[in-house]
Structure 1
């Protein structure tokens, strides 16, 4: 059925204006004043913002890690994302050395099939770069539409790749039109510091942070950026948590390197003190990179405001406190890394960012939706509101106040990392390709209605305002 969204204030990355939107056949058909159509359902957005659906470029749904599997799968995770105003997620396929890349992709298709309630795509982990991988990558890009590749510089003896693999991946991405993503922490140094801590009997959750210092993140970020410049390639640094890493990205961009940075709501709203709580409570906040000292928060907000960081991912990777996180009692290295972030990403950025004057409303839309859509080959189908785009739309009340809690969230996990935090602003209704997934804060979507997205190759963005020159 056709829909008319009336009386709302439309906000994109570049514009803010009052208009109606006519939705037909899953796309935006018309944007104009005073649209009328007797055959259309009328949705009144008076007093509300109308945003493009959020694009979360960083999720780990049903991901195996540390002897267990993250709690939210493609059904619960995408439902929670929708409640939070996100209509597209890009999840990570974890690969295995010596095995065809397609094996992992097939596993992720099996995990997501008939489960997702919003649209989704995949990134692909690269753990080795040899002739087999080189020969398979063009097929992966052409047939699967996977055009971004993640290299871990951390998790020694689990995920960590060496510098040679990273550099070869950068060279290959340059040639094929892919975007390389890095988890930037010096895994060798961290491994040494972890062993020293355990030898001294330091096993509490806080030592997860103390053995992964910001210097290790800054060093790895700078190294990855330098290698990107050497390869004349393109790089996206995930989950930037501290000033050291943000500064390295800013330095690289000043040199003209094609380097982009993502941070996450947890680093903007939480700090290292959460990990130093008694009774193992700190384990709830164990993820990598770890939470930092509180002063880093304003450094990250400033980097977002000035454009030195460009996107907000959730790094969603939820584990129950009881039965999963507690695997690490007596040894912080056995605490599964990750937290439940997918649902509160948009609200926290609006409340802590826009409402507190740290970023503009248009910057907020760019960070939560548009920039990721451009970088990851989804724009303009996703990430904006204009005629012909997918009708992924969020009707958002900017004034409603609420308290984040496990009692009211929609994730499958048994705690909320932002428990008790008061936020202003909340998605009221959410449409995916013109159909309501959330209507008046109730789930009305259909499990399995989310579509897999094949993404375009990376096109270099020559400035913060240029459109992506996407390579078909």
Structure 2
């Protein structure tokens, strides 16, 4: 018989969503077998003394982009380094995004992501699939992905004009099909047309630095797209998941919709819960560029606390990171034009600690039930 790995985590306080309680945790071959006091375990079980410590379930990062080819370069976190960082920070599962180019097969892109990830991952993972264009072949491939591959979430972009963005008519068709095949629709909610015009305006005014990134895509651009996506999804009775809710304005739209009975879920991310967009005006260009992501962090310093309060109230639902890391040299592709700065920040290792620090606080106190971890 193969040797089994047995671990007893003893004397800690177990924190679950519904409560926290003093309990031991018995793990066999990586699977939790029992939680309780005075557990009886086989001889030779390794015992970890957790007295004075908290025991949390492994976290799930709902939004990552490992080794994504984007804006003329490739994210530096691959599926090995990225998931290794996740585990180091207490996250034991990630959900990455398959993002096919316009005109490309969703199924072929999915298999390519799987082949890349399977050889490298250090933790559990699953995949969302993006719909970046629309015709009958995309519709058929979505059905195959649901029925044969277990995919149950598809992401649509209202931003990145001429790259990933869908029209309202295409969104209506995609949302309708998600409803028909039992999948949830996801959206990157920013008005791509207004961003394109805003970027032209900023550059014409001589604003080329990272601050231009936020100035050309203000809160109302995110809020408008969020409201539009919710309206379209509701018209076809399709559940909607809004990724990376970054502003108070967009968060209010999600919260209001939920309170009015709409089936919509909002996802703030670690960066948006942990800091704000004042960094874009830092005099050190590399520092400012390091925070460039879409949608941008908001310069209103009260935004992180506001988003955290809505997360605690269940007006926002889960937390991801949008982990899509680029080096200083890669960010420098946009040294003279902010529209060419690769969009993305880190966070997969820090998400759990950011939520704990900002959402729970003093570790000496009894923790409230965890939300969005």
TM-score, length basis structure 1: 0.75
* Structure 1 residue 362: Cα displacement: 4.5
Distance (whole Å) between structure 2 residues aligned to residue 333 and residue 107 of structure 1: 28
Aligned to 2:177: 172
- 5+ residue gaps, structure 2: none
Distance (whole Å) between structure 2 residues aligned to residue 282 and residue 338 of structure 1: 12
Aligned to 1:318: 325
**Is 2:61–2:93's contact at 8 Å kept on the other side of the alignment?**
yes
- Give the aligned CA root-mean-square deviation in angstroms: 1.6
Distance (whole Å) between structure 2 residues aligned to residue 44 and residue 297 of structure 1: 35
**Is 1:354–1:360's contact at 8 Å kept on the other side of the alignment?**
no
* Structure 1 residue 305: Cα displacement: 2.0
Q: Deviations over 1:217-243 (max 9, x none)?
A: 000001111111111110000111111
Between 73-82 and 153-162, the greater mean CA deviation after superposition:
153-162
Give 3-state SS (helix, strand or coil) of 1:106's partner: helix
Aligned to 2:164: 159
Of residues 126, 137, 157 in structure 2, which corresponds to 1:132?
137
1:306 matched to 2:310: no
Q: Which has the higher contact order (CA 8 A, sep 6+)?
A: 1
* Structure 1 residue 140: Cα displacement: 0.8
Aligned to 2:18: 14
**Is 2:213–2:292's contact at 8 Å kept on the other side of the alignment?**
yes
Alignment map for 1:245-264 (pairs within 5 Å): 245-264=250-269
TM-score, length basis structure 2: 0.94
**Is 1:62–1:111's contact at 8 Å kept on the other side of the alignment?**
no
Aligned to 2:83: 78
Between 195-204 and 134-143, the greater mean CA deviation after superposition:
134-143
Distance (whole Å) between structure 2 residues aligned to residue 34 and residue 148 of structure 1: 42
Give 3-state SS (helix, strand or coil) of 2:372's partner: helix
**Is 2:312–2:359's contact at 8 Å kept on the other side of the alignment?**
no
Q: Deviations over 1:263-315 (max 9, x none)?
A: 01211221121111113121011001111121222321221122111111011
* Structure 1 residue 360: Cα displacement: 8.8
**Is 1:12–1:362's contact at 8 Å kept on the other side of the alignment?**
no
**Is 2:12–2:54's contact at 8 Å kept on the other side of the alignment?**
yes
Distance (whole Å) between structure 2 residues aligned to residue 98 and residue 173 of structure 1: 19
Aligned to 2:347: 341
* Higher helix content, 1 or 2: 2
Alignment map for 1:63-212 (pairs within 5 Å): 63-212=68-217
Distance (whole Å) between structure 1 residues aligned to residue 339 and residue 367 of structure 2: 40
Distance (whole Å) between structure 1 residues aligned to residue 39 and residue 56 of structure 2: 19
- 5+ residue gaps, structure 1: 369-472
Aligned to 1:283: 289
1:218 matched to 2:223: yes
**Is 1:226–1:252's contact at 8 Å kept on the other side of the alignment?**
no
* Structure 1 residue 97: Cα displacement: 2.6
Q: Deviations over 1:162-195 (max 9, x none)?
A: 1112111211111111111111000100100101
Change (3 A) 1:75 1:225: same
Distance (whole Å) between structure 1 residues aligned to residue 7 and residue 196 of structure 2: 55
Between 334-343 and 102-111, the greater mean CA deviation after superposition:
102-111
Distance (whole Å) between structure 2 residues aligned to residue 271 and residue 19 of structure 1: 38
**Is 1:2–1:23's contact at 8 Å kept on the other side of the alignment?**
yes
Aligned to 1:26: 30
Alignment map for 1:221-240 (pairs within 5 Å): 221-240=226-245
Distance (whole Å) between structure 2 residues aligned to residue 356 and residue 235 of structure 1: 34
Alignment map for 1:359-378 (pairs within 5 Å): 361-364=367-370, 366-368=371-373
Distance (whole Å) between structure 1 residues aligned to residue 196 and residue 211 of structure 2: 16
**Is 1:5–1:44's contact at 8 Å kept on the other side of the alignment?**
yes
* Structure 1 residue 361: Cα displacement: 3.8
Of residues 39, 52, 55 in structure 2, which corresponds to 1:47?
52
Of residues 328, 331, 343 in structure 1, which corresponds to 2:334?
328
Between 287-296 and 117-126, the greater mean CA deviation after superposition:
287-296
Runs of 4+ in 1 over 3 A off after TM superposition: 359-363
Distance (whole Å) between structure 2 residues aligned to residue 301 and residue 27 of structure 1: 31
Q: Deviations over 1:323-364 (max 9, x none)?
A: 20011111001100001111111101101210169x994443
Distance (whole Å) between structure 2 residues aligned to residue 206 and residue 360 of structure 1: 41
Aligned to 1:381: none
Aligned to 2:39: 35
